[in-house]
Structure 1
Amino acid sequence: MEKDNLESNSGKWIWGIFYYNKEDDRIFPPKRIPWMGWTVNFANWKSIAALVAMLAFFYFVIFMIERNS
């Protein structure tokens, strides 16, 4: 199966919004409609770790802004 067709398979989308594909090793695969950006592959631990790291970074930035206000 080609990388470009991995995200188009309907069986790899839970409720049509959560991408879950153990065969796909990309951290941020494109969404079903590619011009809308990227999504997280919830079957890949690296993808979930990247999402958690980004959220932690943004929460830290907000915390620092609020603390210094």
Structure 2
Amino acid sequence: MQNPSQETLNNWNKNPKYWKLGLFYYNKEDQRLLVDKPNPNYGTTFNFAHKKSYLFLLLIFSFFGFIVYMVTRNQ
């Protein structure tokens, strides 16, 4: 589905079947990588049905792992 309407995006965002454990968004129809959480005060999350989300998580964990390694290697 290309360029879904704002109404469709809102329905996807509020539908609990796309939220696993209330925290993880998983919707194969939605092509967005980053998705706003239902409560706008909580920011955004990854769409875990999107293949690139796992790559981004791997990069983030690798970066912080490298930082921890560099800080603790001389101690």
TM range (shorter): 0.7 to 0.9
Q: TM-score, with normalisation over the residues of structure 1?
A: 0.81
**Partner Cα distance (2:57, 2:9) in 1:** 21
Query: Cα offset for 1:4?
Result: 3.6
Q: Which structure dedicates a bigger proportion of its chain to strand?
A: 2
Larger radius of gyration: 2
The answer to whether the 8 A contact 1:40-1:51 is kept is no
Where in structure 2 are the equivalents of 1:47-62 lying within 5 Å? 47-62=53-68
Q: What secondary structure, in the 3-state scheme, does the structure 2 residue paired with 1:29 have? A: strand
Q: Which runs of 4+ in 1 moved over 2 A?
A: 1-6
**Partner Cα distance (1:22, 1:66) in 2:** 40
Unaligned runs of 5+ in 1: none
RMSD: 1.6
CA offsets per residue over residues 19-64 of structure 1, 9 Å max, x none?
A: 1100111112111212211112111111121111111111111111
From 17, 20, 23, the counterpart of 1:17 = 23
- Seq. identity, %: 41
